[in-house]
Amino acid sequence: MARGRSGTGRSGTGRGLGGLRSSGSETLQLVIDYVKQETLDPLKGLGRFILFGVAGSVALAIGLVILSVAFLRFLQTETGTTFSGDLSWVPYLICTVAVVAVAAVAVRAVSRGQSRTTGNPPKEAR
């Protein structure tokens, strides 16, 4: 009894190797597009985030320098003769203390923000 080939092997689709190559190239293109989507798009977003962060930091630094010079000028001119003579250094000290205080607040805010993102609980005051 001879067995027929029906039911065994592939069903005849008629595509052959050309269809297999076409399917392979489509799959390769799909993988390439996926890799671009999952790597390049987040990197572009990260670059934009860093660019605006640096620009904002530079603008904030320039503004704080201008404000500190204005505060020093205010202390030198508007206090009359209070800081004249031997006390002419006091406005510089006051301005320096104010700038260091602002820097300390900024560092504390940044370190508190980092502990939140890393999952470390913030240190409690004792």
Q: What angle do CA 87, 91, 96 make, to 5 degrees?
A: 130
Closest by CA position to 122, among listed 107, 102, 108? 108
Query: Would you say residue 120 has pLDDT above 80?
Result: no
The pLDDT score that the predictor gives to residue 91 is: 95
Residue 112 structure tokens: 């508190």
- Predicted TM-score (pTM) of the model is 0.58
Express each pLDDT in 21-40 by its tens digit: 777 888 899 999 898 888 88
φ, ψ for residue 7, nearest 5 deg: 90, -10
Half-sphere exposure at residue 62, Cβ-oriented, CA atoms within 13 angstroms = 6
Express each pLDDT in 39-66 by its tens digit: 888 888 899 999 999 999 999 999 999 9
Residues in the chain, total: 126
Q: Are 99 and 119 in contact (CB under 8 A)?
A: no
The pLDDT score that the predictor gives to residue 104 is: 95
What is the C-alpha to C-alpha distance for residues 50 and 38, in angstroms, rounded to an integer? 19
Query: Would you say residue 2 has pLDDT above 70?
Result: no
